[in-house]
Amino acid sequence: MDNDALSGLLNDPEALQNALRSVSSLLGASDAGGAPDAVSPADDPEAQLLPVITGIMQSGRAAVRPEKRALLSALRPFVAEDVASQFDRALRLAGMAGMARAALGQLEHRAEGGEHSV
């Protein structure tokens, strides 16, 4: 998934809720009567997952400091296209590593007796 599309999804709570519902239905979770208020927010797995997923995604965006991103962007006109594409790939990999680190942190937190929901 493209970083811009992912950022757009994260910045639109309604679209993110729809995506979470789609994932839940694919995983076999049943919809409680189809009514949005049929499940209380404390019992709604989607509502509990949203802050976790948002935190993980923010960790991916924060993996590379803005000034480093700006430097790489400023260098793009002065390097060959294959080098510029390597810059992009490195930024994506750093973002994915940040998200993986945050996801592992969430799993470790839950394994140590943190939150038991979700």
Distance CA 89, CA 117 (A): 35
CA torsion 36→25→12→95, rounded to 10°? 150
Question: Bigger pLDDT: 60 or 1?
Answer: 60
Q: What is the pLDDT of residue 93?
A: 93
Q: What is the pLDDT of residue 38?
A: 52
**Domains of the chain, residue spans:** 3-26+39-111
**pTM: predicted TM-score of the whole model, two decimal places:** 0.55
Q: Is the per-residue pLDDT at 31 higher than 80?
A: no
pLDDT in tens, 43-101: 677 777 778 888 888 888 888 999 999 999 999 999 999 999 999 999 999 999 998 99
